[in-house]
């Protein structure tokens, strides 16, 4: 959430800033703005709403001319979306853009008000800008250090001072920020895709490291002004991967990228037909030593964790607890040095998940992270890290990230089961081979696209839906329900099918759509009974099942078939129609598929 960019060089920077911000729209935002040095002054333009509104405002009023500036897309935390609350914030001497939350902003605001400062916005960010101004005595680094000493919270800051018209200053804590570098020009950005068009070279800013960025020079220091040497990183992302590539929406493109994403993720982790996660330090000896496993994540990543729990417990017989990160961090969990905590995060910057990681460390547990972004905060702070190699995921509604996260859970389950002796080598080889064939099976599952589009046309007038399933199908029901509600805005709930009779079945009335996920052979008979229960009460029944599955006439109004696999692996293909149902329902309702309201891709605040 929130996007930061900055440019300093010989080119006119406004178009570069706007273009870079457009590559960060996936992070979620409600307003945008830029601050550019023009004729020795800081010129600010900002607007509520889409980036297009800012671009139109600049073109119709005044387009700043200059080679140094900062830009921002805001996701509201303090103060409603408005032009005034948009970033950048500051005055004629200093201007800043900020990602994160300043927890003690009220104390800072009270202090500065007593010093004669006035405030225009409702934001926490403006207090940081005015505090920088208060401490500024013509030494920007001193002002930044003094400000950081007073500030409590999470932040990534891009800062410009009127007296330094060729320089951007940057600093971060608990929020991502990188410094890009190219010949004769340099950048700051919240994420690599923002600058990929201009350079693949960048530096990672660590906690409270301060960068001083000019067109031909970048220097770093710590909060004691001690100079730092940093190694340049080279991004392996393809710029085209951050474009739609002919698809109408990023979400549809990313759904279709799942076969290649899964293949890229699992292939390097299979050695002589066996799962091998030793690249990250997760050796067989370590796996065997853990007494308990905790999987901690948020949203879609948590649902991948639930799949992991079912599979690990079924195959390896090791107890697994799955926690929502925001609950784990506050419930004083019983975690110790003999336990493994697995944190899952697409961005590697999720605030609650990162806090859970810190808690696990404090309690003596080892932490394995499963993330998609190289060099992200969670990756750097974990004891072990497995990268999912899915490439950029731009659509806010996560799809391919879920599939690659599940694929890692399978590899972990297979290897753990083999190490624990609950399956022999022959069975481990067989399961791993089945997983290796999954990319082709996902490709086959995508053939249900037309059927999903048709079924979606039956859902667009629904006020509420219910997803039901048992076992692994329940985990997939949770993910399917989340996908639908977050982008189509139709109220949707998932429920363990066996619990219907304990209250929820009272919600069923004539025409209410119920999507039953029924791919587990040993639970199919019971699932059919649950579908009959809702059907007899007037529900419009939709069933996602294995191809060729037979039902008595009249039980199912619509069925969507997926390739038949071994039960334990079915989630890898079952998720495809659930994603497509959400996608087409949203398209048919005319909503913005890739950028749903109120949501952000990378949730870096609590």
Total residues belonging to the chain: 606
In the block, tokens 């970033």 appear at: 87
Nearest to 602 by CA among 26, 87, 10: 26
SS3 494: strand
Distance of CA 210 to the CA centre of its chain: 26
Q: Checking DSSP bridges between strand 292-297 and strand 270-271, what pairing results, if any?
A: unpaired
* Tokens standing for residue 541: 């029944």
Q: How many CA atoms lie within 13 A of 304 on its CB side?
A: 30
**What is the C-alpha R_g of the chain?**
25
Report the distance separating Cα 261 and Cα 252, nearest Å: 14
* Tokens standing for residue 540: 């419009």
- What is the side-by-side strand order in the sheet with 292-297? 320-324, 292-297, 339-345, 366-371, 384-387
**Element containing residue 107 per DSSP (H, E):** helix 105-114
Report the distance separating Cα 597 and Cα 489, nearest Å: 9
Partnered with residue 173 across adjacent β-strands are: 155
* Tokens standing for residue 388: 């999912």
Q: How many CA atoms lie within 13 A of 422 on its CB side?
A: 15
Phi and psi for 339 in degrees, rounded to 5? -110, 155
* Tokens standing for residue 237: 């992302």
From residue 191, give the alpha-carbon distance in Å to each of 4, 319, 365, 557.
8, 36, 30, 45
Phi-psi region of 116 (alpha: psi -120 to 50; beta: other; left: phi over 0): left
Report the distance separating Cα 323 and Cα 293, nearest Å: 11
Q: Which residues are catalytic?
A: 2, 601
Q: Where are the beta strands (DSSP E) in 464-597?
A: 464-469, 491-496, 513-518, 540-546, 558-562
Q: Are the C-beta atoms of 310 and 472 separated by less than 8 Å? A: yes
Report the distance separating Cα 8 and Cα 163, nearest Å: 15
Partnered with residue 469 across adjacent β-strands are: 496
Distance of CA 409 to the CA centre of its chain: 18
Nearest to 156 by CA among 133, 181, 125, 199: 125
């Amino acid at each position: 959430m929130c996007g930061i960019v900055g440019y300093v060089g010989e080119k006119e920077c406004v178009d570069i800033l706007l273009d870079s911000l457009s590559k960060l729209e996936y992070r979620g935002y409600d307003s945008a703005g830029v601050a550019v040095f023009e004729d020795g002054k800081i010129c600010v333009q900002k607007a509520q709403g889409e980036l297009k509104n800012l671009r139109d405002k600049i073109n119709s009023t005044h387009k700043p001319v200059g080679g140094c500036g900062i830009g921002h897309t805001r996701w509201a935390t303090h103060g409603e979306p408005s032009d005034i609350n948009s970033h950048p914030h500051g005055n004629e001497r200093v201007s800043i853009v900020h990602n994160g939350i300043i927890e003690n902003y009220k104390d800072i605001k009270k202090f500065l008000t007593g010093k004669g400062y006035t405030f225009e916005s409702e934001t926490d960010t403006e207090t940081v800008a005015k505090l920088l101004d208060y401490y500024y005595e013509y030494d920007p680094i001193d002002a930044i250090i003094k400000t950081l000493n007073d500030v409590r919270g999470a932040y990534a800051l891009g800062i410009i001072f009127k007296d330094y018209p060729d320089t951007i200053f940057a600093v971060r804590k608990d929020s991502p920020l990188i410094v890009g570098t190219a010949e004769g020009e340099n950048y700051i950005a919240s994420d690599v895709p923002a600058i990929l068009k201009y350079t693949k070279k960048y530096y990672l800013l660590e906690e409270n490291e301060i960068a001083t960025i000019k067109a031909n020079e970048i220097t770093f220091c710590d909060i004691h002004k001690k100079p730092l040497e940093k190694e340049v990183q080279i991004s392996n992302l393809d710029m085209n991967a951050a474009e739609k590539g002919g698809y109408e929406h990023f979400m549809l493109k990313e759904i279709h990228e799942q076969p290649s994403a899964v293949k890229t993720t699992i292939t390097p982790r299979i050695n002589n037909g066996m799962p091998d996660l030793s690249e990250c330090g997760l050796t067989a000896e370590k796996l065997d030593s853990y007494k308990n496993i905790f999987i901690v994540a948020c949203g879609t990543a948590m649902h991948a964790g639930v799949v992991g729990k079912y599979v690990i417990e079924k195959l390896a017989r090791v107890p697994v607890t799955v926690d929502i990160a925001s609950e784990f961090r506050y419930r004083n969990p019983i975690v110790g040095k003999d336990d493994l905590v697995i944190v899952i995060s697409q961005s590697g910057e999720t605030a609650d998940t990162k806090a859970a990681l810190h808690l696990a460390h404090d309690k003596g547990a080892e932490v394995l992270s499963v993330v998609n972004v190289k060099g992200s905060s969670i990756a750097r702070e974990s004891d072990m890290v497995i990268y999912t190699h899915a490439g950029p995921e731009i659509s806010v509604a996560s799809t391919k990230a879920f599939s690659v996260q599940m694929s890692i859970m399978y590899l972990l389950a297979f290897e753990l089961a083999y190490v624990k002796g609950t399956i022999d080598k022959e069975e481990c080889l067989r399961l791993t081979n089945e997983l290796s064939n999954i990319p082709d099976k996902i490709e086959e599952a995508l053939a249900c696209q037309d059927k999903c589009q048709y079924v979606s046309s039956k859902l667009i007038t629904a006020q509420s839906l219910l997803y039901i399933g048992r076992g692994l199908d329940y985990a997939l029901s949770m993910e399917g329900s989340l996908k639908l509600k977050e982008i189509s805005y139709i109220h949707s709930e998932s429920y363990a099918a066996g619990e219907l009779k304990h209250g929820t079945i009272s919600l069923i009335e004539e025409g209410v759509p119920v999507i039953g996920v029924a791919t587990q052979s040993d639970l199919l008979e019971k699932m059919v009974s649950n579908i009959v229960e809702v059907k007899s009460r007037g529900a419009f029944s939709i069933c996602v099942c294995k191809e060729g599955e037979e039902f008595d006439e009249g039980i199912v109004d619509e069925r969507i078939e997926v390739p038949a696999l071994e039960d334990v692996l079915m989630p890898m293909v079952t998720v495809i129609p659930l994603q497509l149902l959400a996608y087409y329902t949203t398209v048919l309702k005319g909503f913005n598929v890739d950028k749903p309201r109120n949501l952000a891709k990378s949730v870096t605040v609590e």
